[in-house]
A and B are shown apart, each in its own frame.
Chain A
Amino acid sequence: MTARGLTKRFGQFTAVDAVDFDIEAGESFGFLGPNGAGKTSTMRMISCMSPVTSGTLRVLGLDPAHDGPAIRRRIGLVPQEDTLDLQLTVLDNLVVYGRYFDLPRKVIRERAQHLLEFIQLADRAHERVEPLSGGMKRRLTIARSLVSEPDLLILDEPTTGLDPQARHLVWDRLYRLKQQGVTLVVTTHYMDEAEQLCDRLVIMDGGRIVAEGPPPDLIARYATREVVELRFPADDNAEVAARLDGLAQRHEVLPDRLLLYTDDGERLVEEVRRSGLTPERTLVRRSSLEDVFLHLTGRSLVE
């Protein structure tokens, strides 16, 4: 998949602003960014559901403007909002969807059985979808997107709104798909999801790509090895930050805490104590994509 100067405008509003990216077959590629960064608009363009305003886009070597149906035949889409039929049974949702792809009913039923086992819903096959939990519905949406055995799976925020256990189950299933050679394209505003799932990712903000690379490289490039988080009782984090100037390689002032970037967190905490400051809480942790995003945009990923 290749995008050059890919742009999406809605009237005066530019949702995606001339982005470039390349995604290789078999790769697991992420779009990380806060809400409104243009991730979903990008997903809708690459899944051939939304026309490109300008720029070029090739998906599976084809042009979405002319070959939409042919591309969609080879794509599995997990949209941000589930589009399951709540009144139909779990199995019928798969059968109906498979029919859209003109698969023979027998083939769909065979695949459905495997898929329902894969997402651990085999025992609910004949139940209606409506009462299922959010995590189960999400897994069913993923199973449904796999009925057509796609070469490319596009997942728009696959685990938003799920509890931690459900998220880990989804991640595990996606990881297995990746091992089977399915190309994954994932959007998320969870840095842990991006770190778990993506070989390579772009960070989007305000419709633009602000950084691109494998997660560890991005962290190495834009953050230090460790981060010290300090919380002070007073509200004047900025004033405290001024006093700490020079101790850390870099710092960020957040409304509720102060982040100090360093390669040796424990030593920095010692130095802070020695300088006479008494933080209410201190936390030393490894840098994450969250810090990369904060550094690049000055804002947190999830407000």
Chain B
Amino acid sequence: MTSALGTETAGLGIARGAEEPPSLRALRYWAYQYKRTWRGSITTSFLYPVLYLTAMGIGLGSLVNRHAHEVDHVRYLVFLAPGLLASTAMQIGGNEATYPVMGAIKWMRTYYAMLASPLRVRDVLFGHLGWIAVRLVTVSGIYLGVMAAFGTIVSPWVLLALPAAVLTGLAFAAPIAAFAATQETDTAFSTIYRLVLIPLFLFSGTFFPVTQLPAWLQYVAYATPLYHGVSLCRDLTLGQLHPAGDVAHGLYLVALTTAGLWAALRTYRSRLVV
């Protein structure tokens, strides 16, 4: 009897082992969705860094270099590129965690379709954030490729800038998704852009070292996530590592991502399971 049960359980175990993890099944949905728009999306992922690096890095950069010679011991273009990489990751994380989350709850109701299947709330959430991570890998990978083409890559540590950028994006996506799941309309999203993402983009060291800011504003910058994403990506790209500082930047982003996930599990549950 016991052995028969044991065999059965073992058999089940094998069957379970062959199963695709539920959150990966949810992720597949987003991949299917993306099939429709990937061409435009990939093109944008190339164009955006090309335009920014040309306009700001080369155009504005030539002025900066003439007056300041170097920023943080490198040409302005080289200084700027990793900042833009982190900012782009933030923007992708923000975009993908606002309207698509609202759509999956209110417009297309995709989350409800998933929840009618064996998928659970956590699978739905991890599947969506997993997809956002996939997007971040692609976009950041392309960005690094463009940076290489612009000759801004000077250190092998740059390989770690990819996970750093993805982490930066997730540190925004997870808490923003948690917030988006509490909203009835999309009006608050434009407020997030105007009052959170754009100020962070401007004042987190993307375009100039935060040490150029008045002292009190520097402390504000240190408290915000993009500053840590920019610093980490820049240190890795330039190969100018500050071990303690860089570990702290990473931990900050991991902590924010984790807190966002925890909050999102709660807001998703209270929104989707009533």
Contact = CB atoms under 8 A, between A and B. Distances in A.
Interface of A: 10, 47, 49-51, 68-70, 72-73, 75, 77, 79, 81-88, 92, 95-97, 99-102, 145, 148
A73 B119 CA distance: 9
Measured as residues with beta carbon below 8 angstroms from the partner, the interface class of chain B is: 20 to 34
Nearest to A77: B116
Contact of A73 (B20, B108, B110, B118): B118
B195 interface: no
Contacts of A47: 116
A102 B19 contact: yes
B273 A97 contact: no
Given A10-B274, A85-B108, A97-B113, A70 B33 contact: no
A100 B109 CA distance: 15
Nearest to B115: A49
Contacts of A95: 32
B114 interface: yes
A72 B112 contact: no
B256 to A, nearest CB: 30
Nearest to A70: B118
Given A10-B274, A49-B116, A51-B273, A100 B36 contact: no
A83 B33 contact: no
Contacts, number: 74
Contacts of A79: 112, 116
Contacts of A82: 109
B43 interface: no
13 contacts: A49-B112, A73-B118, A79-B116, A83-B116, A87-B36, A88-B33, A88-B36, A97-B113, A97-B117, A100-B119, A101-B118, A102-B19, A148-B117
Contacts of B113: 83-85, 97, 100
A100 B117 contact: yes
Given A10-B274, A50-B273, A88 B32 contact: yes
Q: Which of B26, B32, B120 has the most CB of A within 10 A?
A: B32
Contacts of B194: none
A60 to B, nearest CB: 13
Contact of A72 (B26, B116, B274): B116
Given A10-B274, A72-B117, A72-B118, A99 B112 contact: no
Interface of B: 19-20, 22, 25-26, 28-29, 32-33, 36, 108-110, 112-120, 273-274
A99 B28 contact: yes
A135 B57 CA distance: 56
B172 to A, nearest CB: 25
Top 7 A-B pairs, shortest CB-CB distance: A100-B117, A83-B113, A69-B118, A77-B116, A83-B109, A73-B118, A83-B112
Nearest to A69: B118
Nearest to A51: B273
Contacts of A69: 22, 118-120
Contacts of B117: 72-73, 97, 100-101, 148
Contact of A99 (B25, B108, B109): B25
A47 B25 CA distance: 20
A75 B22 CA distance: 17
Nearest to B29: A96
A99 B116 contact: no
Contact of A83 (B110, B120, B273): B110
Nearest to B108: A85
Contact of A85 (B20, B26, B33, B115): B33
Given A85-B33, A145-B116, 15 more contacts: A50-B274, A69-B22, A69-B119, A77-B116, A83-B112, A83-B116, A85-B110, A86-B108, A87-B108, A96-B29, A99-B28, A99-B29, A100-B118, A100-B119, A102-B22
A102 B26 CA distance: 10
